[in-house]
Structure 1
Amino acid sequence: MDQTAFPPGSRAPFAERPEISRGRFFDEPASRTRSAFARDRDRIIHCTAFRRLKGKTQVFVAHEGDHYRTRLTHSLEVAQIARSLAHALRLDQDLAEAIALAHDLGHPPFGHAGEDELQIRMADWAGFDHNVQTFRVVTRLEARYPAFDGLNLTWETLEGVVKHNGPVSHRLDEPAWRAIADYARARPELDLDLGGFASLEAQAAAVADDIAYNNHDVDDGVRSGLISLEELEGVPLIGSVLAGARADWPHIDDHMLRLETVRRMIGVMVEDVLAETGRRLAADGVQTIDDVRRARRTMVAFSEPMMAELGGLRRFLYDKVYRHYRVNRIRSQARRILAEMFDLFLAEPELLPPEWQARAVGADQAKRARAVCDYIAGMTDRFAIDEHRRLFNLDVANDL
């Protein structure tokens, strides 16, 4: 793709345009000061689920240290990278940022361990999927407006939330995805075209997520002592970047060397995505938004050589960080906390806070389970730990 083909400051012809958005589930007058996509971004930033991300983590539990990434800091990093990609590709930056900021809203406490446990607990009641939970948060669970439930986001933002990793029509038979199928039936004219690809803005948010988490897991892994810079020397992708940083700055300490290496690696990955995206757009003749949705593959993507190197890095992180015995202990504790709370709330819903009791007490088993799941999924790591102590430790009964 020849970026010089577009005048400075202009959008590419395959960029989304807020002025011709397909609209919202509930009609609203346009904002006088913001585009439709900027308004979506601001609603996401101000919602309760977004604030709670500051207390949710992916690998480390939030109380272990102030310097480890949380889901909030991760989402901000993803948004920054997504916005940079959108700027370089002349896409709508507000839409890319909104999707990036929303992409983790449905994650439960304790990262993947929490999701794994909720999937098990909800196996008999339509399951649990964090992407679907994000959709439920922004279309139903957030209660901030008197006229509607959820955030009433635009079609384009909702599409990006659901499909940023590619078409999902093949998943609609999964019980956990019924919420999205139900939404499509309620307003057929706002069908999310689940068999097609999402916008390039959504694709930019998805690849920005990959860039951010691979780099911050390296950074946090070294910071925590689970891995060392010396161990990274032979690891695909980062090994060569580390060697280059060390050659250019032979006298800096390990702290600065780590930061410089991560900074450079983000740059290498971003440049690879931009180059590969240009090649794919040109090779596939993508000229319009419709071309993007009907394409035969993702457009905003890593090159094959970069994917191969990333595969090696991810295998290293899996072995050395994600399955380190210290992390395994955290995962085990986290799953037991959520399992015990889920089973107790399901058996005794009157123990739930009043607003959740209203959904659970007297409901059938499936609706009760979903209410319990929603309550737990919204918790931060620290709140889940404290709530478990209040429920199971008599010594803290006075804190109730």
Structure 2
Amino acid sequence: MLATYASDPTRTRGRLHGEDESAFREPFQRDRDRIIHSSAFRRLKHKTQVFVEHEGDYFRTRLTHSIEVAQVARTIAGALGLNSHLTEAVALAHDLGHTPFGHTGEDALDVLMAPYGGFDHNAQALKIVTSLERHYAEWDGLNLSWETLEGIAKHNGPVTGDLPYALAEYDAGHPLELDSHAGAEAQVAALADDIAYNNHDLDDGLRAGLFTVEDICALPVIGAAFAEVDAKYPGLDAKRRRHEALRRVFGAMVGDVLITSKRLLQEANPGSVEEIRALGRPVIRFSDGLWADLKVIRKFLFTRMYRAPSVVEMRNRVTAVVEDLFPLFLAQPELLPADWHADLARARGDDTALARLVADYIAGMTDRFALQTHAKLIQAG
């Protein structure tokens, strides 16, 4: 049973291109399945989360991160009476637009694209599912439901001011009401992202030896989780102790979101998803207390993990890869693969269109393909 404020699949705003719906899958299930079967989703397997994909088999990639986000999002959505299929679709799609080398690659490409409207991975995710995936006979993209597109575009909140180029371009022809909050399902996907990366960055950082259990036991929430494990399982070996503690941190975050969000929903008493959008504030949130604790944890991770010397060294190396490839393809676009040449012919004579085509190509690369292409075209040259 869906809550009154959930996104009802029988009342979807539909798809940009009309098509017969499935007899056995609701529209949001179908969206989720199309995302899973997309080329961009498969490529997440070899895209960086924090560590470059080849640095170790146990570290998270964008693919494993997206699967973890979807699992958390389904749990929260189900407990709040929301549409779990829509929530999962947004969660699985939220990182499709990431470049190789994660935020490092995005930052480099954004600087290079500054004269041409910049680069934003959320906007790029929307472009992928509405244009760059080209498998269907009757349209480009995946032809997802309006609600799924809305969630991809603004799961982190309203998008106002100077819109990212790709987002503004799409919204001009198919408005997504960017100045309002998305439905509660997309808000859940955004919080599930926070929960997943807070938890797995701690795990990956410990595994990489960037900090110790003793270091993180001084942090809020985490120290209490380890103390609880030690009291219940004295003498537990280090690996199991770490796992038991971090799963309690995970559970604390999920539980806090559920308690806080149920209270906010009860206070707002929305009768529809439209009323959720019109509230002018999110209804899926951490409590103020936990949010303050998480900021302390994120500050620790920023210093000890994201700015660790070994990570910074790799960031510098992969930034150079993007900085080398972009001007090369811009100057010699004939180096693009043959199946990009039709788009290239349409872009010739338009500097912005050509730059955005090159950015689309580089953004779609996996870590290993970007490194291989750099070795072939730059280093070998």
> Which of the five TM-score ranges fits, normalised by the shorter chain?
over 0.9
Q: Percent identity?
A: 50
Structure 1 residue 196, shift from structure 2 partner: 1.3
Provide the residue aligned with 2:102 in structure 1.
Answer: 111
Provide the residue aligned with 1:222 in structure 2.
Answer: 206
Q: Aligned to 1:124, what secondary structure does the other structure show?
A: helix
Decide whether aligned partners of structure 1 residues 113 and 350 sit closer, same or farther in structure 2, where only a CA change above 3 A counts.
same
Which of 371, 374, 379 matches 2:365? 379
Provide the residue aligned with 2:375 in structure 1.
Answer: 389
Structure 1 residue 296, shift from structure 2 partner: 2.9
1:352-367 map, 5 Å: 352-360=336-344, 362-367=348-353
2:62 is the alignment partner of 1:78:
no
Which of 255, 264, 276 matches 1:292? 276
> Structure 2 length normalisation: TM-score?
0.97
Aligned residue identity for 1:209: D
Aligned residue identity for 1:82: A
Provide the residue aligned with 1:23 in structure 2.
Answer: 14
Given that 1:360 and 1:371 are in contact with CA atoms closer than 8 Å, whether structure 2 keeps it comes out as yes
- In structure 2, C-alpha distance between the alignment counterparts of 1:200 and 1:161, rounded to whole Å: 13
Q: Aligned to 2:176, what secondary structure does the other structure show?
A: coil
Decide whether aligned partners of structure 1 residues 217 and 139 sit closer, same or farther in structure 2, where only a CA change above 3 A counts.
same
Residues 106-165 of structure 1: per-residue CA shift (max 9 Å, x gap) = 000101100000001101011100000000000000011010000000001001001111
Given that 2:4 and 2:270 are in contact with CA atoms closer than 8 Å, whether structure 1 keeps it comes out as no
Given that 1:360 and 1:372 are in contact with CA atoms closer than 8 Å, whether structure 2 keeps it comes out as no
1:246-265 map, 5 Å: 246-265=230-249
Q: Which runs of 5+ in 2 are unaligned?
A: none
Residues 4-26 of structure 1: per-residue CA shift (max 9 Å, x gap) = xxxxxx11110111111000000
Which of 266, 279, 285 matches 1:301? 285
Provide the residue aligned with 2:169 in structure 1.
Answer: 182
Q: Once superposed, what is the RMSD of the aligned Cα atoms?
A: 1.2
Structure 1 residue 358, shift from structure 2 partner: 3.3
Provide the residue aligned with 2:259 in structure 1.
Answer: 275
Residues 176-209 of structure 1: per-residue CA shift (max 9 Å, x gap) = x23333333324xxx2111111111111100000
Aligned residue identity for 1:64: E
- In structure 2, C-alpha distance between the alignment counterparts of 1:184 and 1:317, rounded to whole Å: 36
- In structure 2, C-alpha distance between the alignment counterparts of 1:344 and 1:182, rounded to whole Å: 26
Structure 1 residue 371, shift from structure 2 partner: 1.0
Decide whether aligned partners of structure 1 residues 137 and 13 sit closer, same or farther in structure 2, where only a CA change above 3 A counts.
same
Structure 1 residue 363, shift from structure 2 partner: 4.1
- In structure 2, C-alpha distance between the alignment counterparts of 1:284 and 1:82, rounded to whole Å: 21
Provide the residue aligned with 1:369 in structure 2.
Answer: 355
Aligned residue identity for 1:277: S
- In structure 2, C-alpha distance between the alignment counterparts of 1:20 and 1:372, rounded to whole Å: 39
Higher mean C-alpha deviation, range 331-340 or range 357-366: 357-366
Provide the residue aligned with 1:7 in structure 2.
Answer: none
- In structure 1, C-alpha distance between the alignment counterparts of 2:318 and 2:71, rounded to whole Å: 30
- In structure 1, C-alpha distance between the alignment counterparts of 2:340 and 2:238, rounded to whole Å: 49
Residues 202-252 of structure 1: per-residue CA shift (max 9 Å, x gap) = 111000000000101000000011111011110122121122122222212
- In structure 1, C-alpha distance between the alignment counterparts of 2:308 and 2:52, rounded to whole Å: 14
Which of 100, 114, 118 matches 2:91? 100
2:316 is the alignment partner of 1:316:
no
- In structure 1, C-alpha distance between the alignment counterparts of 2:171 and 2:331, rounded to whole Å: 33
Higher mean C-alpha deviation, range 323-332 or range 230-239: 230-239
> Structure 1 length normalisation: TM-score?
0.92
Given that 2:15 and 2:145 are in contact with CA atoms closer than 8 Å, whether structure 1 keeps it comes out as yes
Decide whether aligned partners of structure 1 residues 132 and 97 sit closer, same or farther in structure 2, where only a CA change above 3 A counts.
same
Provide the residue aligned with 1:133 in structure 2.
Answer: 124
Provide the residue aligned with 1:14 in structure 2.
Answer: 5
- In structure 1, C-alpha distance between the alignment counterparts of 2:207 and 2:165, rounded to whole Å: 41
Structure 1 residue 261, shift from structure 2 partner: 1.5
2:327 is the alignment partner of 1:336:
no
Provide the residue aligned with 1:6 in structure 2.
Answer: none
Provide the residue aligned with 2:192 in structure 1.
Answer: 208
Provide the residue aligned with 2:78 in structure 1.
Answer: 87
- In structure 1, C-alpha distance between the alignment counterparts of 2:252 and 2:44, rounded to whole Å: 28
Q: Which runs of 5+ in 1 are unaligned?
A: 1-9
2:52 is the alignment partner of 1:61:
yes
